[in-house]
Structure 1
């Protein structure tokens, strides 16, 4: 016969377990492939920076939503003059930076002026090139005057490169980022992880997570065991390879294949012989078998592309048949270019599996036409220094994850070393065009020019293979911008 004490103890256990069931966990470990070189999105080109801090730690006047739409952020609203030259942004009140300083119009002026300054280190300085003047009208109003109408201006202000920073903390943001977002920076264990936590004084709706850790797992072979063991609860883009079917069959996980803005390319140094010869680049384009590359580099989930443009964009045109796979045609073009026996070159590959695995396949395909590639694996920091900054490379493989970034082909001194005045003219007209139909037409023209010039080997649009605990909700299915936005992520029990 049970005693009263026994029954009371049992009731206490039931109450405790019931309370535990009602209290969903509030921590999360997210696995990411690359460690960022630093944590200031206004001072670096690495997507790995935004993948941690965008929308979580830093905010801009606007933000890009999960479907690529422009949403209010630190600006609750804005008005545009009839001539399209003046934007009046109404700022939110009661906003503070994580160090307690007040956010106001002068911070916006500081950030935009800093980004467009002559000595700016902003990797996307072109986003601010149309700005003529920035005026802090009063603490909650900013007036931005443009040199010419720019149809994409509110969208541009939603990039990670356009987040608002404070003059008091801007210089230290690389190591200790201070933003206005719903999470504040806690710790960066170099080589291991970055930890952020809930900011108690956030101006908007509080986030459900109290703490989140971004753990760096560059080795695909280590990623799957980390997920299966529960050490990591989410990978926003898991490089699972042959293990993906096993994970899909496991009811503990949700697998969502989404779209990204990541144009994966065989980056080519157009300013270096023999790649400055159009026929050589055309030969390479004909030698590439996208289906084989996609199968080996993205588990068959990538979408073939023939130019630097996302298939998810309404202005996309299919140019994959511009240079169809044709080994004999490729050999003939090489001979016409003066290389009947081929040549040797280098292929520098950053750490992501799509690059390392894809590089092996590309090297094999180019070997068929007589091009012998020496594969040189490099770490991410080396890639940024050698390839992106110093242009010390022949070929490389990388995924450009910035949204709508076809304008990079018009930038002076960009690492492709591509120069085409006709393309530059299209970009200049596009920048000043607000009519949606005309913009779509110009985007099509731009795609055709770089496709026909075979500027790079256009391979595939990177899929977003999201894998996370089935009890999580609020993770992004697609990646319209290079971000791992945790602001609406929560555990369901």
Structure 2
């Protein structure tokens, strides 16, 4: 059957569709999913699948299948609900004490009983290791973890945080066995032991994974319903090779990241037996700055770049209808979004940029190198940076070079501060405006940035988290976005849509990729919708 399936995005909380696919096919035959994510153990990142270190979409897509969390975001998004827990909630009006009770009879995949002490160990382990990947920042507001018997755990927070249930839904809060994980150091390699819906085995070529095999965990107890018994996740070097595998029926679905040309072709010229599905997405792309680097230390340079980059032309030239210009860190479909950059700088204006640089005494052309990763965000990334170079150099205010590096080397170099200007993407850990602000501006942030605004860190972020009604926090987020537009520690470029292509006998495709780009492989089945 040739058709394009469309699941429409909605604002803030996503509505659950009325009808879900139900399959009557063979659950035992593995469903094979392709991805362009690469899984490599390196000297800089020897433990890519340790929950205390992992902080990229690819690694989390493995951990979500294998490591259980107390809570999870349900199908169709919305507020987190208990997963490994049977109940969770704040026990005070100030949102400073969060209590969870574990399900009865909960065990790891090897049959070992899970107790509240395992939860305490897992959380305290992340905070003790405090890896340089920024992962621990999600749990940094925890003051103490208290256990009451074998099944009850209480998190005492340093300051009120209405977003805490979301944080407990991320793999960083995954429940681990103290018998198999060291409490003070990362676990190298690709082995994962947990209590999630699947157990996992890997096939490898040296330090690189060539296949993950997920098998239904017979001892799993939780809120997730599995619609298959086995799924394989196969990394591909690029989207074109992944596409060939789908056409040959070597794989059943290709998820992230499809190229813009593939999406265009499947939209305009549907292929027999393959369906294209658009699913809600909250991905953003941006340039970030090492604000201590000599070439961009003067914020006038960053402001001038913000004044001349033409997001509309960039999106039109490179991504077409699969993306839209973004003028804030917070996407337009998330509560709290403001158009702070266009409000501050207006439409691209070379004369305005020249005045900013002239008034600051900055000599032109300013020499800058834009760094990007060649193998992490999709086939169009190189073309995007060529377009950015063309825009900046076209003003004669900048002398711009671009440099591409594979992700396994790019990310460590970026964290070390080797790059003055670099491009990254962000897939939210949870669908709340807080997660587009704190990972970039709070202490111990994902970027490891030297930029610090004490008003944002000490006053505005904590103030936003006090609001249980997230719409009430919108004015605070608007203030933060104005500060970001003025100081330009990051420069938002665009927000993207998500697409999945699958064989037409695979069901549950519309649920298998959520707004945070999490692969929910248990949703996939075989049969007819």
Question: Is the CA contact (8 Å cut-off) linking 2:30 and 2:231 kept in structure 1?
Answer: yes
Of stretches 303-312 and 375-384 in structure 1, the one that deviates more from structure 2 is 303-312
1:216 is matched with which residue?
235
Find out whether 1:36 has 2:71 as its counterpart: no
2:197 aligned with 1:182: yes
1:340 CA displacement: 4.7
2:316 alignment partner in structure 1: 295
Deviates more, 1:140-149 or 1:471-480: 471-480
Q: Identify which of 316, 319, 325 aligns with 2:348.
A: 325
Q: How does 1:69-468 map to 2 (within 5 A)?
A: 69-83=79-93, 84-117=95-128, 119=130, 123-171=134-182, 172=187, 174-189=189-204, 190-204=208-222, 207-248=226-267, 249-322=270-343, 323=345, 324-350=347-373, 351=375, 352=377, 353-370=379-396, 371-387=398-414, 389-403=415-429, 404-408=435-439, 409-411=441-443, 414-424=447-457, 425-468=459-502
Q: After superposition, what is the alpha-carbon deviation per residue over 1:73-123, rounded to whole angstroms, capped at 9, x for unaligned?
A: 111212422343322211112222123321111111111111223755673
Greater mean deviation of Cα atoms: 339-348 or 308-317? 339-348
TM-score where L is the length of structure 1: 0.88
Over residues 279-328 of structure 1, what are the superposed CA-to-partner deviations in whole Å (9 max), with x where a residue is unaligned? 21111112211122223443431132112112221222233523222233
Supply the distance in 1 between the matched residues of 2:188 and 2:466 (Cα, whole angstroms). 33
Matched, 1:490 2:520: no
The Cα offsets for residues 160-193 of structure 1, whole Å up to 9 and x where unpaired, read as: 2111111122244742101111111111422522
Find the residue that maps to 1:218 and give its secondary structure.
coil
SS of the equivalent of 1:294 reads: helix
Matched, 1:48 2:58: yes
In structure 2, C-alpha distance between the alignment counterparts of 1:365 and 1:477, rounded to whole Å: 37
Q: Which has the larger radius of gyration?
A: 1
Give the Cα–Cα distance (whole angstroms) in 2 for the partners of residues 49 and 305 of structure 1.
26
Displacement of 1:60 in angstroms is: 0.9
Does the 8 A contact of 1:50 with 1:482 survive in 2?
A: no
Which one is further off, 146-155 or 253-262? 253-262
Deviation at 1:200, TM superposition (A): 1.9
Where structure 2 has 5 or more consecutive residues not aligned to the other structure, the ranges are 1-23, 41-47, 430-434
Contact 2:134 2:448 in 1 (8 A): no
Please, which moves more after superposition, 393-402 or 378-387? 393-402
Distance 1:94 1:296, change over 3 A: farther
Structure 1 residue 454, shift from structure 2 partner = 2.2
Q: CA deviation at 1:277?
A: 1.6
Residue 50 of structure 1 and its aligned partner are, at CA, apart by 0.5
TM-score by length of structure 2 reads 0.83
Question: Helix, strand or coil: the match of 1:381?
Answer: helix
Indicate conservation of the 8 Å contact 2:122/2:176, yes or no. Answer: yes
- CA change 1:125–1:231 in 2 (3 A) is same
Change (3 A) 1:356 1:99: farther
In 2, Cα distance between equivalents of 1:212 and 1:24: 10
**Range 288-297 or range 132-141, more displaced:** 288-297
- What SS does the corresponding residue of 1:53 show, helix, strand or coil? helix
Which is worse superposed, 261-270 or 426-435? 426-435
Could you tell me which runs of 5 or more consecutive residues in structure 1 were left unpaired when the two chains were aligned.
1-20
**Is the alpha carbon distance of 1:243 and 1:433 closer, same or farther for their aligned partners in structure 2, counting shifts above 3 Å?**
closer
Shift of 1:367: 1.0
Q: Take 1:302 and 1:262, find their aligned partners in 2: how far apart are those partners?
A: 10
C-alpha contact (below 8 Å) 1:62/1:74 kept by paired residues: yes
Once the 2 structures are TM-superposed, how far is the Cα of residue 339 of structure 1 from its aligned partner?
Answer: 4.0
**Counterpart Cα distance in 1 of 2:25 and 2:519:** 27
CA distance in 2, matches of 1:118, 1:170: 12
Q: CA RMSD in A?
A: 2.4
Partners of 1:372 and 1:473 in 2: CA distance: 51
